[in-house]
Structure 1
């Protein structure tokens, strides 16, 4: 009878050890998510970068009055991951018009694939979809991007446009885009 009782105690001890091991494993799994990087980002994971975005002057676009400024600056900040400089975020911000006196040719249909910088040249890679418009639209499109990048980031002096990773002759069929653009396209 004593051996039966010892056997029962051993079985109970094994069962208790198994339960404790399971609890330990589940606790470890539960704690693994605490305090670590969840990928969702927090305020500590981002930084603000001051930029000057350039928008089309809505009065010029509607009237064609040559005495008006064609592009208007808008100073703001963009929120970026610390590993980024803010190039792509500033171009994405051009899709949002800050007020009725501003206009943009950077629509929600425009997809920026990547912005990289080599030397003093920013390479803006666009998806081919959404690239359409007349010569004035193409001029504003290029000017908004070039002026925003060259006037917001000291390291950028010129912008080369790519479509799907390739240099193209033109973005919308009106301006030569095979070579990099410098700032102030409207004054050239």
Structure 2
């Protein structure tokens, strides 16, 4: 009988040790799982925060189809794309999707330089193509470019160039000097 008690006690002790070891493992796994969940949650928050940090808003001024001015359009882009060159290029693309686009097809931004508050925007030769540019089309084009450029903090005035050369007049407008923001053309 003593032998049976020893056998039962030993068996019971072995089972208890297995149960304890299993519980300990579960507790450890559970604790590690919680640590991983917390870490994953923190990484997720960090990623979301980083995504917010990598996005930026900017405003482009698109010509209205009714010819009554330009309308502001806020867009969200990757922070590295928040450049004046990208904004003007986006403006040209957006205008091409309008019912009545005002910019010539295939006009591109060759380069942009900002110095002392003046943005020198160098456009491709297509900007001057398309025959006789009427006053309204010229006004909408200039208002779109100038207002988009001056929506950037570093830009106070805009000088337009075509193929690196300053242009004197455009659709009856004197553009030989840097142009200031054209608030009167903005229609919300």
TM-score normalized by the length of structure 2: 0.59
How many corresponding residue pairs?
A: 130
Structure scoring higher RCO (CA < 8 A, sep ≥ 6) equals 2
The structural deviation recorded for 1:95 is 2.1
Secondary structure at the counterpart of residue 125 of structure 2: coil
Secondary structure at the counterpart of residue 106 of structure 1: coil
Provide closer, same or farther for how the CA distance between residues 75 and 53 of structure 1 changes in structure 2, counting only shifts above 3 A: same
The structural deviation recorded for 1:102 is 7.9
Q: Which residues in structure 2 correspond to 1:4-153 (within 5 Å)? A: 47-58=54-65, 60-61=66-67, 70-79=69-78, 82=80, 85-97=82-94, 104-131=101-128, 132=130, 133-151=133-151, 153=152
Superposed CA RMSD: 2.8
Structure 2 regions of 5+ residues with no counterpart? 1-50
Secondary structure at the counterpart of residue 93 of structure 1: helix
Provide closer, same or farther for how the CA distance between residues 123 and 70 of structure 1 changes in structure 2, counting only shifts above 3 A: same
More helix, by proportion: 2
Measure, in 2, the Cα distance between the counterparts of 1:103 and 1:91. 18
Measure, in 2, the Cα distance between the counterparts of 1:75 and 1:123. 23
Measure, in 2, the Cα distance between the counterparts of 1:144 and 1:49. 20
Partner of 2:178: 180
Measure, in 1, the Cα distance between the counterparts of 2:101 and 2:156. 22
TM-score normalized by the length of structure 1: 0.59
